Structure 1
Amino acid sequence: MKIRTFLFFLSLYVFALAQTKPIQKPVVINSYTQYRASVKANPDNELIEIKKAIPDVRLDIRYATRNNFMKQVMYKQARAFARKPVVEALKKIQKELKLKGFGLKIFDGYRPYAITVAFYQKASDKNFVANPAKGSKHNRGCAVDLTIVNLKTGKDITMATPYDSFLPAAAANYEPVSNEVRKNRQFLINVMKKHKMNVLENEWWHYDYSGWQGYQLMDIPFEKL
């Protein structure tokens, strides 16, 4: 009996230790000089401001406001960046959408690594935030959170949940949903996939660029870009 009691309390101790174990930080570029050197070596590494490259794209940078799951301002500037090939893909997508009366609305692009750490520490559901031990594709400048806007009405097309929802219905293949939501969701998935942008399974708004593995994690603040 004593042995069982000892093992029980030992397991509790090990569990508690695991919870307080510091995050193992991966290799992250946090020097602007190092970043510029990487761009010189490969122009595709450049983080381009999406709004400057695509002037008619709409921005709704929630993390520059308190209107986000953190309930606090995370970005000092309401800007969105992505690696050069990602922005080129978004240009093509925007052009294709405009022919059909739609346009892109960007919620988030490149995200400094320090922000990912803050998200992970505070988020109640870790399934909706990246583990800093591996970093996020947002940290690589290869992920974009977005939706589609109807250009006539100026309103977002209907989806199952709002942006950044932690509900199960936020999943890209969640059922049941209305025919309108299913049609809108698939329309977005199809047009993005056509240009090498793939939806994240549990977030209908999150798209990763095919080839993200070739880009390093970054922790350069917007103000330096």
Structure 2
Amino acid sequence: MAEKMSWLTNLITDFKKYASLKIVVVFIMVFNFSCKENTKILEDKHLQLEAIIKSDSLPTEANIEIETKKEVAPLASLIDTTFIRLADYSDGFAYDLRYATDNNFLKEKVYDCAECYTRVKTAKALITANEEFKKVGMKIKFYDCYRPNSVQYKMWKIVPNPQYVANPVKGSIHNKGGAVDITLVTLDGEELDMGTDFDYFGKRAYHDNLDLPQEILDNRKLLKETMEKYGFWSTRTEWWHYNLNGATNDPIANFNWSCD
């Protein structure tokens, strides 16, 4: 009887070992299959992203209006959703368009050349706000304006983090021609101290960070209150970023300006 029990015990032990081994083998097979599938998905998404970046056929509004005539039409005669080159309608701004250089948080140039386009309604508000800044010896300086959606995909490829770059599928208000990244300079071009450089991602750049020298707080207040007066709203974590009221409802655009 004892021998039979010993034989039965050994059989059960062997079965458990076999079953455990079988489970391990099945797990490894499933894991390898999953890895291969995930790798394939990632490769497919990478190829799709490459195709999107190289293409100008991203989903965008139909019959987009872009004012590019040699003889510039009066601003008042244009539809508010038309895109214009801001410098054609005012010489009172300053520019340091960082994404046309590698002097940005991406450390890469993503624009072929530096231009500042916005929709007409955004331009009207900017020009009016700038006239008020001029009364106190200041003017707006631009770091970024309208951004093609294809460029948003480029940025996402470099830094795929929604904390720093808007997901290009949903788009940024920059892609809609209703957002600008700005600072203030004197009429002679000297930048006001805003506490950080453009695209500094940290608490020192927050609007609600009051633990800063009074001069910096005053400079930010001047920029913020004046921009809000003319229809813009700010982003809490970025002192330089302003969106035009209602611009979130505009469609994403993807036209690229000429560098001729």
* TM, length-normalised to structure 1: 0.82
Q: Deviations over 1:199-220 (max 9, x none)?
A: 1122110100001133110110
2:236 to 195, 201, 221: 201
Paired residue for 1:108?
Answer: 144
Q: Which runs of 5+ in 1 are unaligned?
A: none
**Structure 2 residue identity aligned to 1:172:** H
Instruction: Establish whether residue 191 from structure 1 lines up as the match of residue 222 from structure 2.
Output: no
1:94 to 117, 121, 130: 130
Choose from 59, 64, 71 the match for 2:95.
59
CA distances 1:155-181 after superposition (whole Å, capped 9, x unpaired): 111112101112232222224211111
Q: How does 1:34-73 map to 2 (within 5 A)?
A: 34-36=63-65, 43-73=79-109
DSSP-derived class of the 1:148 partner: strand
Distance 2:258 2:96 in 1: 18
2:207 to 172, 181, 185: 172
Whether 1:151 and 2:180 are equivalent positions in the alignment is no
Is residue 55 of structure 2 the alignment partner of residue 29 of structure 1? Answer: no
The verdict on how the C-alpha distance between 1:20 and 1:168 changes in structure 2, with shifts beyond 3 A counting, is farther
- DSSP-derived class of the 2:112 partner: coil
State the AA in 1 paired with 2:190: K
Contact 1:30 1:220 in 2 (8 A): no
**Cα distance in 2 between the residues matched to 1:118 and 1:172:** 28
Identity among equivalent positions (%) equals 28
Q: Deviations over 1:96-125 (max 9, x none)?
A: 000011001011110000111111221275
Residue 111 of structure 2 aligns to a residue whose secondary structure is coil
Q: Distance in 2 between matches of 1:100 and 1:129?
A: 34
Count the aligned residue pairs: 216
Instruction: Please state how far the C-alpha of 1:20 moved relative to its aligned partner.
Output: 7.5
Is the Cα–Cα contact under 8 Å of residues 128 and 202 in structure 1 kept in the other structure? no
Q: Does 1:118 align with 2:154?
A: yes
Determine helix, strand or coil for the equivalent of 2:183.
Answer: strand
Change over 3 Å in CA distance of 1:189–1:203 after alignment to 2? same
Going from structure 1 to structure 2, the CA distance change for 1:195 and 1:98 (only over 3 Å counts) comes to: same
1:125–1:166 contact (8 Å) kept in structure 2: no
Q: Which blocks of at least 5 consecutive residues in structure 2 are unaligned?
A: 1-19, 53-57, 67-77
The worse-fitting range, judged by mean Cα deviation, of 108-117 and 14-23 is: 14-23
Normalised by the length of structure 2, the TM-score is 0.72
Partner Cα distance (1:180, 1:125) in 2:
33
